[in-house]
Amino acid sequence: MSIRTSRSVSLLAGIALAGAGLGAVSGCGSQKATAGGTNVLTDRARQVAEAWDGSTAAAAWRAGYHPMGETVQLPQGGLHSPADLQAYEDQSFLLRGELPVTWPKNGQVTWATGKPLTQRVMGADESYKNLASTRVNRKPHLTVTEVKLGEMRVATSRGPATVPAWLFTLHGYATPLKQAAVIPSTPPRSPISPARDIPGLPLDRLIQIAADGRSVTVVALHGVCDDGPAVDVLETSGSIVLSASVKDRKNKGNCTKQAKLQQVTVKLKHPVDDRVLLDALTGQPVPYKGLNGISPSGS
């Protein structure tokens, strides 16, 4: 049996609301509010698209290295057993041998078209710490027998890229576990400020862009007393703006100020390509975080 996964843990049933803008999900009343018959979230999405399209921020985003897919790849064929999967999720690794103490300061990120990008390379020690907990000798665990610098393919905002990667040889596996070694570019400053005092919620994260680019899966917040999240989309030639809100509440008794995280897949009219995927409420690119900390069902 082979196990394929992104590192994930079970999601708690509810998380306390905190921070500006989250208080809107109290579960009390519809969050699809309108003003003068015009959906304020739709107006906000247009403003975000107009601010980003053709901006220096959009140009900087397209010129950078922004991972939009997993930067850790399991050995070919996946993990061998549920025990190994549990060890990976628990970050239970045991290092046998020495980590490399020298490596290139910078590395090249290359795409099929366009100029390569030079980015800082993280050290083997830093990379290993990202994989492994400080606690060792726990059962079950994965044993690392060798670490060396190589390369891997990563999905990015500019399409698939080849990047330097640390290759971790695991005991019992013919191919290594890979972790991207280059540091992502700093996101550009948004040309539009976050929205204030309008209905809606910021998106938690981007999970996946479909292979054909015609849909994206994000994690959205919703309340315990509503009918779930809704994510609307506005597409332009330069951007894709997602507006998250919650569906109308039914009579579900007393409401509490809690929120749940739920995966939502949004279909697009055209492939993502190099368009910037934006959150209407924050005015920022939707961050890619994968399934880290999110149950596969997203419930």
Q: Domain map of the chain by residue range?
A: 15-64+189-279, 72-180
How many DSSP H helices and E strands does the chain contain? 4, 16
In angstroms, the CA 259 to CA 281 distance is 17
pLDDT of residue 127: 95
Tokens describing residue 240: 């894709």
pTM of the model: 0.78
Q: In terms of Cα–Cα distance, which of 127, 152, 128, 9 is closest to 73?
A: 152
Tokens 């403003």 correspond to 47
Region 184-197 average pLDDT: 93
pLDDT of residue 20: 30
| Residues 187, 61 contacting (CB under 8 angstroms) | yes
In angstroms, the CA 284 to CA 264 distance is 19
| Residues 126, 117 contacting (CB under 8 angstroms) | no
pLDDT category of residue 262 using cuts at 50, 70 and 90: confident
pLDDT of residue 199: 77
Give the pLDDT confidence of 62-82 residue by residue, as tens digits.
999 999 999 999 999 999 999
Among residues of the chain, what percentage have pLDDT more than 90? 59
The residue ranges of DSSP E strands in 11-105, in sequence order, are: 15-16, 34-35, 38-39, 72-73, 93-95
Task: Name the most confidently modeled range: 156-160, 193-197, 222-226, 277-281.
Answer: 277-281
Residues in contact with 42: Cβ distance below 8 Å, sequence separation at least 6, in sequence order: 232, 234, 243
Positive or negative: CA dihedral 231, 236, 287, 296: positive
Region 33-51 average pLDDT: 76
Residues in contact with 288: Cβ distance below 8 Å, sequence separation at least 6, in sequence order: 66, 67, 68, 69, 205, 206, 207
